[in-house]
Amino acid sequence: MSYEAGNFWAEAMQAAAQPRVAVVIPCYRVSRQIAAVIARIGPECSAIYAIDDACPEQSGAAIERVCADPRVRVIRHEANQGVGGAMITGFRAALADGADIVVKLDGDGQMDPELIPGFIAPIARGQADYVKGNRFFSPEDARSMPRTRLLGNLALTFMTKLSSGYWSLFDPNNGYVAIDARVLAHVPLDKVARRYFFESDMLFRLNTLRARVIDLPMEAVYGDEESSLSPMKMVPHFFGRHVTNTFKRISYSYFLRDFSIASIELVAGTLLMAFGLVFGSYTWIANLQSGTVTPTGTVMLAALPVLMGLQFLLAFIGHDIASAPRDTVGPLLSGRRRKAAAQR
């Protein structure tokens, strides 16, 4: 075999080993920025899905007028479905076309497309199933974020840690993400939240699959784009959903899929705390109304269950933090990918 022929086959094998990367861009009021965003997406991406989510600015038509990139496919929604609905449409299209890795990129210019290779690399190397951006990694990057958005993100971060079980992650509502298509094919997309709760709900769904999620440091760019999401306003709106997901995750992880010493710690801690608080409150109110001094023994009878329950609950939380998924599951799911994707 000649050198030229050998070099050709080596390059062909290397190209075949490269993952097929698809980019999904939800488009809503981004007609001014979207063309520049698409132009900066590198050759590592083989397909770009622009989802016109019933945009009043007709972002899809704007793309078709100025963009000649053959990788771009515009998909239109007749009615607005929110960022989650747009992403679900894009995810399904990418899976149907055989993508290996799918990246979510916003069309407003806040996410640098040149970071895409950094997002897909850990997945291609088998080090992660899901990679998300973290705008808080560097203090300098955090200072560039508007203060109200910073405080809102901190509150949402803690709630998402509790509901998703990914305690080591930060900035969980960051929408710059990449996911292994083998894992994506097993996410129940019909159940994922279709509005702004999408990112948090995805983390909850990924935990039920025991997928490994990692942070990637990044810097957000805040320009003249208008954001319809105010993290501070979303805190009370998301609170109920986080409570629901927390209950579902704990029930599934510690009572349906498994039962361990942590399950016993949770039950014992909850019951002891409840007994101590209810008994102590009832006794204190009754004695206050009658003018009776509460005996030391009665105080201890209320305080000890509270202290013991607190210890049990802290032990449970420690176990929950330590049990966050640390191994990738994509290779384990690869054999079932086509069947699962077809069922969606």
Shared domain for 176 and 305, answered yes or no, is no
The stretch 291-320 carries a mean pLDDT of 92
The tokens describing 161, both together, are: 């840690």
Shared domain for 303 and 167, answered yes or no, is no
Shared domain for 289 and 164, answered yes or no, is no
For residues 98 and 22, what is the distance between their CA atoms, to the nearest angstrom?
Answer: 9
Shared domain for 230 and 284, answered yes or no, is no
The stretch 232-243 carries a mean pLDDT of 80
For residues 16 and 46, what is the distance between their CA atoms, to the nearest angstrom?
Answer: 13
Q: Mean pLDDT over all residues of the chain? A: 86
Shared domain for 312 and 209, answered yes or no, is no
Shared domain for 232 and 275, answered yes or no, is no
**Residues of the domain holding 294:** 259-322
Whose structure tokens read 């204190």?
284
Whose structure tokens read 């899809």?
60
pTM here? 0.84
Higher-confidence position of 253 and 1: 253
Tell me, yes or no, whether 241 lies in a domain.
no
- Give residue 10's pLDDT band: very low, low, confident or very high (50, 70, 90): very low
What pLDDT, in 10s, does the model give residues 259-286? 999 999 999 999 999 999 999 999 989 8
Number of folded domains that form the chain: 2
Tell me, yes or no, whether 329 lies in a domain.
no
Tell me, yes or no, whether 331 lies in a domain.
no
**Distance of alpha carbon 63 from the chain centroid:** 28
Whose structure tokens read 């990449």?
178
The tokens describing 130, both together, are: 């899901």
243 contacts 258 by C-beta, under 8 angstroms: no
What pLDDT, in 10s, does the model give residues 67-124? 989 999 999 999 999 999 999 999 999 999 999 999 999 998 889 999 999 999 999 9
218 contacts 115 by C-beta, under 8 angstroms: yes
Q: Taking CA 213 as the corner, what is the angle to CA 209 and CA 217, rounded to the nearest 5 degrees? A: 165
Beta strands in the chain, from DSSP E residues, in sequence order: 21-27, 45-52, 72-76, 101-104, 130-134, 177-180, 213-217
What pLDDT, in 10s, does the model give residues 143-189? 666 677 777 778 888 999 999 999 999 888 888 999 999 999 999 99
Shared domain for 178 and 295, answered yes or no, is no
Shared domain for 183 and 309, answered yes or no, is no
Question: Of 204, 236, 268, which closes a domain?
Answer: 236
Shared domain for 306 and 181, answered yes or no, is no
Tell me, yes or no, whether 344 lies in a domain.
no
Higher-confidence position of 294 and 224: 294
Tell me, yes or no, whether 245 lies in a domain.
no
The tokens describing 254, both together, are: 């510690």
The stretch 37-52 carries a mean pLDDT of 95
For residues 134 and 248, what is the distance between their CA atoms, to the nearest angstrom?
Answer: 26
For the chain, percent helix, then strand, then coil, each to nearest 5? 55, 10, 35
CATH number at residue 152: 3.90.550.10
Tell me, yes or no, whether 332 lies in a domain.
no
Shared domain for 94 and 161, answered yes or no, is yes
For residues 269 and 130, what is the distance between their CA atoms, to the nearest angstrom?
Answer: 33
**What pLDDT does 3 receive?**
41
Q: Is residue 11 pLDDT above 60, yes or no?
A: no
Shared domain for 126 and 164, answered yes or no, is yes
Shared domain for 67 and 182, answered yes or no, is yes
What pLDDT, in 10s, does the model give residues 150-162? 777 788 889 999 9
